[in-house]
Amino acid sequence: MLITSTITEQPLAGQYKEMTYDAPSLSYEWTWVKFEDENYNENYGQFRGSPKKVALSLKHAKCYVLTSDYLYEIDCQDPSNYKVRDYWDCGSVITNLTVSPNGDIILADDYTIFAIGHSFDEKTTLESPIPMDLIEFQQWDNQRLHISCFEFLTDIKVELKLDAITMTISKK
């Protein structure tokens, strides 16, 4: 089972076990992710598109890799079992991705924040106190995710926080 994932550089050929997670695309850019399993064995995944974010949830045994082209959902128990989500599947362009301290996957497009259950198909929209634009996840502080965004239409920068226990968003 995969227990860690990190965006990295391309490894030396033949040094590690590698797997290509490909999808139909015209992109010539690739993202490399180093995985580690429970026995501390390292292997690498190659994903179509330039690197954005990676998040692994032990709670749901899923790893999500976000590139410029796709969102990949990988089964941590069997990394050869994966789904590729293009932006049509997602309903919007996913721009941010993180995992909460309790193992929930949280992602965002420019206007909306979502929580994912056991799979991407269990995606739920989190309500915000304001209409958001250009959402950026900052950092975790215990069970609170600090978020910056602009209030939609006013262009006023706003700081929000997401409580990972209640899954509610509020102003700072």
pLDDT digits over 2-61, tens only?
999 999 998 888 888 899 998 887 778 999 999 999 999 999 999 999 999 999 999 999
Cα separation, 111 vs 42, whole angstroms:
36
**Predicted pLDDT of residue 90:** 66
**Predicted pLDDT of residue 27:** 78
- C-alpha R_g of the chain: 16
Token pair recorded at residue 162: 């997401």
Amino acid present at 38? E
CA atoms 9, 53, 83, 74: torsion sign? positive
Residues ≥6 apart with Cβ < 8 Å to 119: 60, 62, 73
Neighbour-count burial of 54, counting CB atoms closer than 10 A to its CB (0-12 exposed, 13-18 middle, 19+ buried): buried
Structure-token match 């106190």, residue found: 129
pLDDT digits over 59-108, tens only?
999 999 999 989 999 999 999 999 998 876 666 789 999 999 999 999 99
Partners of 168 in beta bridges: 163
